[in-house]
Amino acid sequence: MTQHKQCFSSKIASEAAALKEQLAKVRMPFAKQEKSARRGPVDGPYNSLVSVGDKSLIFEIEGATIGSRELMNEVEAFFACIQPADVLAKFPEGQRP
């Protein structure tokens, strides 16, 4: 969505960029097994897991505490708030920005 922000209202494009930033904190250490902005592997896939509580995995990544349940609630809320009027155009086919 952030690669084709012209397809969305400015409000949704801005919120998508902010959500992408939040998700990147979790994505780099776990999906790519790399430290963000630093070369080299993480110490292990669960190196940042600090707690399990309230049906959520709690991670500490680069000084930030991130709860998996809260993060997924934010993703769900973001998609739920998109209205038909927020979609301005279709994604370009076969093109990458």
pLDDT digits (tens, 9 = 90+) for 1-28: 999 999 999 999 999 999 998 888 787 7
- Full domain range(s) for residue 9: 2-83
Distance CA 1, CA 86 (A): 12
Residue indicated by tokens 């994505």: 27
Distance CA 80, CA 63 (A): 30
Instruction: Say how many C-beta atoms besides its own lie within 10 A of residue 18's C-beta.
Output: 13
Q: Give me the number of domains the chain comprises.
A: 1
Poorest-confidence range of 8-12, 39-43, 52-56, 91-95?
A: 39-43
Tell me whether residue 68 is in a domain.
yes
Tell me whether residue 21 is in a domain.
yes
Tell me whether residue 11 is in a domain.
yes
Tell me whether residue 92 is in a domain.
no
Tell me whether residue 90 is in a domain.
no
Tell me whether residue 40 is in a domain.
yes
* pTM of the full structure: 0.71
Residue 91: partners with Cβ closer than 8 Å, 6 or more residues away: 4, 7
Strand locations in the chain (E): 49-53, 56-61, 64-67
